[in-house]
Structure 1
């Protein structure tokens, strides 16, 4: 069985850039997207669509 650190599609957490709340958990392909993922998602705490960035 492959270890978690060598996993090609690891789970990542997305945090709101405005309020820093971690709202979403998703997966990404490490080979296709080696840099940090940034998506525009809805934040219930800010009550608006804001940029969410991958956290470690």
Structure 2
């Protein structure tokens, strides 16, 4: 079976607040929060955005799907 025919895709979600600030939200800990999850290509063809906890911002922020 070809790889392009799979229904469920593995995606990476990245904190949009950390990306906007260049990863320097807090001087003590620099970085960008990322989560790995799966989505169904048929149910959600658009890019996924979820509210997840960012350990670098110390709050719940929008995490958007990025290109892998």
TM-score range, shorter chain: 0.7 to 0.9
Q: Normalised by the size of structure 1, how large is the TM-score?
A: 0.87
Runs (5+) with no aligned partner, structure 2: 20-31
Structure with the bigger percentage of helix: 2
Runs (5+) with no aligned partner, structure 1: none
Q: Normalised by the size of structure 2, how large is the TM-score?
A: 0.73
Structure with more relative contact order (C-alpha pairs < 8 Å, separation 6 or more): 2
Q: Max radius of gyration: which structure?
A: 2
Runs of 4+ deviating beyond 2 Å: none
